[in-house]
Amino acid sequence: MRIGQQSLLDLLGEKNIRFVIPIYQRAYSWTQRQCEELWRDILRAAKVDGRHFVGTVLYTPEDDDEQGHHRFAIIDGQQRLTTLTLLLAALGEYLGTHDGAVPELTSATLTGRYLLADGDASACKLALSPKDDDTLQAVIVGTPMPAKTSARVTENLSFFQNQMAADDFDAQTLWRGLKGLFAITAQVDDADQAQSIFEGLNSKGYPLTIADLVRNYLLLTESHDEQERLYREYWEPMEGLFVPDPGSLRLDNAIKGWLSVRFPRTRMKSTETVYSGFKQYVEDEYDGTKEDLLHELRGFCLVWAENYRYHAVKKFKSSYDWARNGAPTLTANYKLKPASNPEYAERVRKELKSVDTNM
């Protein structure tokens, strides 16, 4: 691991570099409150005209993209990097109508260096997760907004635009403060080490769910393209079964239900014990591939969601081998009891033993 101190502008401004938010990471979630804090930090840095540290940025190398840009996956720091990118986009827009507000900087220079990879309009410097990326690309490149925009991206962009529309706004002061923003940066070259770091983030302000940890475990060590494929083919459909709360306790409980069938001795008392049991089962007893496991888990989640009547899932049945083969499901006149009921796991276990689900 290579650790150092670096200006966030220097980090984003490096040539032939792109940063991507891995598909296993959560969506962009900072609210206006965090944007206000960042804005105050920047103005504070401008006053002291020195370094102001705003946290850590950890990243790990990935395969180069099709244009030959070096890609790095962000393990920690996506919230502040995304927010900084939105602030820079707002500043670029401001400079486009206020020529000379920052003598050393133009809108085109800012965009070409900090928002695009070497000025390439087809490659934004920062690529977000699928739920946010189309909106960010539209902001930076100027393409039409997607039909379903990312509320966090648009709301926080509007906040910075409003700050810059104030009568007392001084772009030169803001730019001086931006140059003073520093972070502890670290490049993590080992995938296992990257996974350990990601899991360690569970002790911070936004606890990771069981679904977060399992998704990370199954996808992190794969190549970027393989992560995308597995996510879209298996994980995204699982999340979709539990709308409007994808990745929440509903999916967590489905994973716990699956694990209670596969590895009954797992303690279900906390996120940590469930995740520990999941890893123990996969590493010590499971003999299939990660894709096999995702296929199985997806099938179980479909059954689980159907029993809870969260989704009109009948239209999805034909996409699963176990359903196409005419295997019975657990849906008929049967509702799962709460996961905390000790009789629940045994009843599901017995019923699933009679179901040919390729499990």
Please state, in angstroms and as integers, the Cα–Cα distance from residue 201 to each residue in 30, 205, 212, 339, following that order.
Answer: 16, 9, 11, 26
Dist. CA 120–CA 99, nearest whole Å: 23
Q: How many CB atoms lie within 10 A of CB 258?
A: 23
What is the four-CA torsion angle of 289, 297, 242, 230, rounded to 10 degrees? 10
CB 181 within 8 A of CB 80: no
Q: Is the domain of 247 the same as that of 105?
A: no
Q: Is the domain of 266 the same as that of 292?
A: yes
Q: Is the domain of 45 the same as that of 179?
A: yes
| Domain count for the chain | 2
Q: Is the domain of 162 the same as that of 223?
A: no
Residue of 228 and 92 predicted with greater confidence? 92
Residue 205 amino acid letter: G
DSSP three-state, residue 22: coil
**Within 13 Å, how many C-alpha atoms sit on residue 283's CB side?**
8
Domain boundary among 149, 171, 196: 196
Q: Answer whether residue 227 shows pLDDT above 60.
A: yes
Domain boundary among 142, 167, 196: 196
Token output for 298: 């997806």
Range of the domain at 20: 2-196
Residue 199: per-residue pLDDT: 61
Residue 325: per-residue pLDDT: 39
Dist. CA 249–CA 207, nearest whole Å: 13
Is 359 inside a domain boundary? no
Q: Which residue, 281, 283, 297, is CA-closest to 236? A: 297
CB 100 within 8 A of CB 115: no
Q: Is the domain of 287 the same as that of 143?
A: no
Q: Is the domain of 83 the same as that of 192?
A: yes
Q: Answer whether residue 67 shows pLDDT above 90.
A: no
For the chain, the residue count is: 359
**Does pTM surpass 0.75?**
no
Residue of 301 and 126 predicted with greater confidence? 126
Residue of 319 and 26 predicted with greater confidence? 26
Q: Answer whether residue 47 shows pLDDT above 70.
A: yes
Domain boundary among 143, 172, 196: 196
Kindly indicate the confidence band of residue 243, based on its pLDDT and cuts at 50, 70 and 90.
Answer: low
